[in-house]
Structure 1
């Protein structure tokens, strides 16, 4: 039987989890960009992007649950909803950054647009990592640790029992 201590050892540290987060999220992001382009040849781009965004968020959440944060299994519906909320917030951050850029520069160059977009994406990604690690998948680890915590029994002296031959156990 697995103890809480061995489960805590299998949960990755912050640096390892962040590296896995970048690998999983980045991998899904790159695959999504190709998938949107392919699907957009059959559907309007907005529809293709919406479908791929939903599928990629579901896939990334599963990867984060199983691999990135060591949650010990599939993501729950609650985790999917919370993850989708953090993805929507990250999307809003990048949109706001690009809108602000458009207000500040009448005709920003492609390089400036990329710097602003990638900077906003990086900031949103770090914030998303923190939310997923500290909120979305943290409860799962603490609940798992609480349910597998070993119970230590103590033996009361035989004199405390009505029958000296019976041992009393207290948890």
Structure 2
């Protein structure tokens, strides 16, 4: 039977966590950029981005819990909710970038739209890494890093050696 301590993985260092974040989050983000472009052919771009953001956030949060930040298991509802907050901020950043592009360039091509979207997603991704590492998965990291301290029974010989041999001495000490 596995104990909770053996199920938990050690939290990776900042560099390792960032490399994993880029691999997982970047992979999901790259796939999302193509999914947004494809879905935007049938829906308004803002709605397509919202739908893809929700799906990609759920997927990325699971990957980050299991792999990036060493949580060793599925993400909790609390972690999903907190991650959703950072994803909402990322959604605002990507929408703002795309709306700004529409204001600056009358008819941007697909390549330019992809570049702007990926740049905005990358910027938002770096901010999300900080939030996920320092807030969302921080409590779990500190719990897994802490060791469980148990009270060891006092060695009987030490207890006897320090106890007075005369019971009357106990009354006088008090």
TM-score for the superposition, normalised by structure 1:
0.69
Equivalent pairs counted in the alignment come to 157
Once the two structures are TM-superposed, the CA of residue 36 in structure 1 deviates from its matched residue by 5.1
2:141 matched to 1:141? yes
Once the two structures are TM-superposed, the CA of residue 152 in structure 1 deviates from its matched residue by 5.5
Question: Residue 11 of structure 1 aligns to a residue in which SS?
Answer: coil
State the alpha-carbon separation in 2 of the partners of residues 50 and 86 from structure 1: 13
Report the equivalent of 1:157. Answer: 159
Query: 1:26-66: CA deviations, max 9, x gaps?
Result: 2222333455566x49x943566544332221111000000
State the alpha-carbon separation in 1 of the partners of residues 116 and 52 from structure 2: 24
2:132 matched to 1:132? yes
Structure of greater Rg: 2
Report the equivalent of 2:169. Answer: none
Question: Relative to structure 1, is the Cα distance of residues 51 and 118 closer, same or farther in structure 2, using a 3 angstrom cutoff?
Answer: closer
State the alpha-carbon separation in 2 of the partners of residues 12 and 64 from structure 1: 12
Report the equivalent of 1:57. Answer: 57
Query: 1:140-164: CA deviations, max 9, x gaps?
Result: 1223344x4233637353245589x
State the alpha-carbon separation in 1 of the partners of residues 106 and 98 from structure 2: 12
Question: Relative to structure 1, is the Cα distance of residues 123 and 36 closer, same or farther in structure 2, using a 3 angstrom cutoff?
Answer: closer
State the alpha-carbon separation in 2 of the partners of residues 87 and 77 from structure 1: 15
State the alpha-carbon separation in 1 of the partners of residues 99 and 123 from structure 2: 16
Report the equivalent of 2:81. Answer: 81
Q: Structure 1: which 5+ residue stretches go unaligned?
A: 164-171
Question: Relative to structure 1, is the Cα distance of residues 70 and 126 closer, same or farther in structure 2, using a 3 angstrom cutoff?
Answer: same
Once the two structures are TM-superposed, the CA of residue 19 in structure 1 deviates from its matched residue by 1.0
Q: Structure 2: which 5+ residue stretches go unaligned?
A: 166-174
Taking the TM superposition and a 5 Å limit, the aligned residue runs for 1:1-171 are 10-35=10-35, 40=39, 44-46=42-44, 49-100=49-100, 105=104, 107=106, 116-146=116-146, 148-151=147-150, 153=152, 155=154, 157-161=159-163
Once the two structures are TM-superposed, the CA of residue 73 in structure 1 deviates from its matched residue by 0.9
Stretch of structure 1 that moved more, 13-22 or 52-61? 52-61
